[in-house]
Amino acid sequence: MNVLIDTDIIIDICTKRQPYFTKSDTAYTLAKDNGYRIWIYTGSLQTLYFEIVSEIKKSTINLGKQIPLSKIKKQARESLRSLSQSINWLAALSEDGDVFSDSNPIICQLVKAFGRLGENALLITRNDELLKKNEKAISTENFISKFKSKELRSIPFIDLAAQQDLLRDGLERKIHNVLHHGQYILGPEIRELEKELTRYVGVKHAITCSSGTDALLMPLMAFGIGPGDAVFTTPFTFIATAEVISLLGATPVFVDIDSRTFNLDPEKLREAIHRVKKDTNLRPRGVIPVDLFGLPAEYDIIMSIAEESQLFVLEDAAQGFGGVYKQRKAGSLAHVATTSFFPAKPLGAYGDGGAIFTDDDGLAEKLISLRVHGKGSHKYENVRIGLNGRFDTLQAALLIPKLGLFPEELKKRQQVAEKYTQNIKNTSLKLQCPFIPSHLKSAWAQYSILADRRNFIQEELKKERIPTVVYYPTPLHLQPAFSNLGYAEGDFPVSEMVSRRIFSLPMSPYLQEEQSKIIIEVLNNL
Ligand SMILES: *Cc1c(COP(=O)(O)O)cnc(C)c1O
């Protein structure tokens, strides 16, 4: 939620102005500690500075002190500087100059700028005219009391805004760079990002592409997957994992999951490969394990089972990017791996995107060709059927600073998860918090809990304005889109049981201390 703070309130805080200071500071602190995005309008900067200087001057005179103006000005700058570390500057636009037909141009200007913060924004002020004129304007008293009555509680399921606040300067600069150099397709930022990605994941090649789904599709195309081929995967995942197999005319063969990690169960994989060889005419070709909710699958065992039957292994790390398996990063755990830059994934862009990782030079070359219509040595020589599967330069430019921040964000996700796991203690509801085997680290794309009374819990949390989501309510073998595969209820009992009981809590590196405290308290008191 966006909150614009009026100049008066800022002056109260910066100069400890009585009798307003306590209320103004309380409102500001509540907003800050509870994940609101606090804005100050740059158009009011001059007023702000001028008024703070004169307030400080006034109070020193009242105290009978003689302080030189330069010292007072320095004090004013200091107080604004420290405040500006936890606020956002709302930039003035040219439309803000066109305000002189209004009887109060200053208020008119502020309201115009405020309008750009969107529907849900609030304007904290103690200006009576503003409070009367604008229904989104709220006094400090009202803000505090509404907040305490939970009316203003706002816990995002995934907080993309907090990251944007941290990176705004860098993001804006990157956007302008691209607008100026104009290489919109496969521009220099694509190469820069791919280089950074190979370094981060620890692989030879990183090939960015149009989405996490196309990232899965292209290696299958490179392996020549088609009708008559069987590709093994989990039914407890996002549709894209299995969809790409069907899209190429091959057959997804589902393998049930482990009840504690929710990832593909290697023992059942062995059985499934055996069964396909014995009972069908399908050729077993490959396995797509998924690093669900951020937790890598059991790769050492899966790779050795795959090797016995000469199958490729494609790691779907759309959620797992940032996860670790025995000191190795997700994205480097199989013959080829993919991730997604969908905004809500651990490393998210501001649009669609994905990447493919591999150490295999020959495969990388094919993927680069597939990404641009199966190009050969030049653009208009087409050596195979491919796609328009490129990642946008603009998105790549935005991902570069996001990747820079990513290691820090992973640590914060880990802290949020630990806090949940250590403090969620509701024995009557028999909640099962995530299980992380000791040789693994999760990227915490989601924090997912199993509970018998899921619907009741979700309803109760909703009443407290705490959002939850179910990933995934229907396992893929029961999806209408896969009815042609002939599966029935009961075929994958663990996936079905988990689908009925699972739900996810708000998770983001920027979930505030106060917010997780509320969530834990509400859950424990059910
Ligand atoms: C999101 C997701 C995908 C697809 O990624 P898009 O970028 O949305 O195409 C594939 N697999 C899994 C496991 C995912 O979570």
Instruction: Look at residues 140, 1, 33, 72 and name the one whose alpha carbon lies nearest to residue 80.
Output: 72
Coil, helix or strand for 141?
A: helix
Q: How far is the CA of 214 from the centre of ligand 1 (A)?
A: 9
Kindly list the protein residues whose Cβ atom lies closer than 6 A to any atom of ligand 1: 211-213, 237-238, 240-241, 290, 316, 318-319, 340, 342, 352, 354
Q: Does residue 293 contact residue 471 with C-beta atoms inside 8 Å?
A: yes
C-alpha span between 516 and 505 (Å, rounded) = 10
Q: Are strands 283-288 and 336-340 parallel, antiparallel or unpaired?
A: unpaired
From the list 4, 373, 354, the residue with the least C-alpha distance to 212 is 354
Spacing, Cα 340 to ligand 1 middle (Å) = 6
- DSSP output for 286-334: EEE-B-GGG----HHHHHHHHHHTT-EEEEE-TTTTT-EETTEETTSSS
Give tens-digit pLDDT for 57-73.
Answer: 998 888 888 889 999 99
The two three-digit tokens of residue 4, written as one number: 């614009």
φ, ψ at 90 (rounded to 5°): -85, 115
- Closest Cα partner for 278 from 286, 289, 270? 270
For ligand 1, what atom is nearest to the CA of residue 354?
Answer: 7
Alpha-carbon dihedral of residues 55, 60, 61, 63, nearest 10 degrees? 130
Phi, psi dihedrals of residue 438, rounded to the nearest 5°: -65, -20
pLDDT (tens, 9 = 90+) of the chain, 526 residues, equals 899 999 999 999 999 999 999 999 999 999 988 888 999 999 989 999 999 999 999 988 888 888 899 999 999 999 999 888 889 999 888 889 999 999 999 899 999 999 999 888 999 999 999 999 899 999 999 999 988 888 878 888 998 988 998 998 899 899 999 999 999 999 999 999 999 999 999 999 999 999 999 999 999 999 999 999 999 999 999 999 999 999 999 999 999 999 999 999 999 999 999 999 999 999 999 999 999 999 999 999 999 999 999 999 999 999 999 999 999 999 999 999 999 999 999 999 999 999 999 999 999 999 999 999 999 988 789 999 999 999 999 999 999 999 999 999 999 999 999 999 999 998 889 899 999 999 999 999 999 999 999 999 999 999 999 999 999 999 999 999 999 999 999 999 999 999 999 999 999 999 999 999 999 999 999 9
Q: What pLDDT, on the 0 to 100 scale, is given for residue 85?
A: 84
Q: How many CB atoms lie within 10 A of CB 381?
A: 10
Span 375-432, pLDDT tens digits: 998 878 999 999 999 999 999 999 999 999 999 999 999 999 999 999 999 888 989 9
pTM: 0.88
For ligand 1, the distance from its centroid to the CA atom of residue 369, given in whole angstroms, is 22
Q: Please give the angle made by the CA atoms of 137, 141 and 146, to the nearest 5 degrees.
A: 75
